[in-house]
Each structure stands twice: as C-alpha cells, then as structure tokens.
Amino acid sequence: MEEKKERIPEFKSEEEEHEFWSTHSGADYVYELEEVTESVVVTPPKRKTTVRLDDAAIERIKALAERKGMPWQTLMRSWVYERLEDEEKRAG
C-alpha cells in the first residue's frame, strides 16, 4: 500500500509558515518541488537597521497589517518609503 503524502499547506502569515517549518523537514516535501532552470543570485542586505517601538505600537501595526493581508514589516517599510517621497517632494 502506497503511503499518502502530505502537501505543503497554504500559509496565512510568515509567522504561521515559520511555525510549520520549525516542526517539519523540507526533505519530507521534496516531491512537491519543481526543478529550477534559471540562476538565482541572492544578495544579503547591505546593513540591518533596528527601529525600536513600544509593544502597544507594534501590536497596533500588526493588527492593521493583518487586516490588509500583509506582513507587518512590509507595511512599516512601505510607510517609511512613502513618507520619504512626500518629504523629498516638499523639500524640492
């Protein structure tokens, strides 16, 4: 009798995906992977930046990001870039 293979689930968030892979092995799902024929170059960011916010602010941002269906870090990054553009336009 052939063993039924589980499929990689659809994840609702990065946190959910992280939790799944912390308790599962990618080797168990190798049958789902597709061969990559193109080269991929991954370069690390030039530097890591830390912005400190209080827990209440982070929770508010996470709740808003969840309603928008996006990771909270991505939401914050978009806000920073939007504000930079606005400020640069005002400064001329």
Whether residue 24 lies inside any domain: the answer is yes
Domain span at 22: 14-35+48-91
Picking from 57, 84, 79, the residue whose alpha carbon sits closest to that of residue 68 is: 79
Residue 8 lies in a domain: no
Q: Are 11 and 20 in contact (CB under 8 A)?
A: yes
| The two three-digit tokens of residue 27, written as one number | 């080797």
Give the pLDDT score at 7.
85
pLDDT at 82: 95
Which pTM was predicted?
Answer: 0.48
In tens, the pLDDT along 46-76 reads 877 888 999 999 999 999 999 999 999 999 9
pLDDT, one tens digit per residue, over 28-47 is 888 888 888 888 888 887 87
Domain contains 29: yes
Mention every residue, 6+ apart, whose C-beta is less than 8 A from residue 17: 11
Q: Are 62 and 75 in contact (CB under 8 A)?
A: no
Count structural domains, the chain: 1
Torsion 73-74-80-83 (CA) sign: negative
Q: What is the model's pLDDT at position 79?
A: 95
| pLDDT surpasses 70 at 4 | no
11 touches 37 (CB < 8 A): no
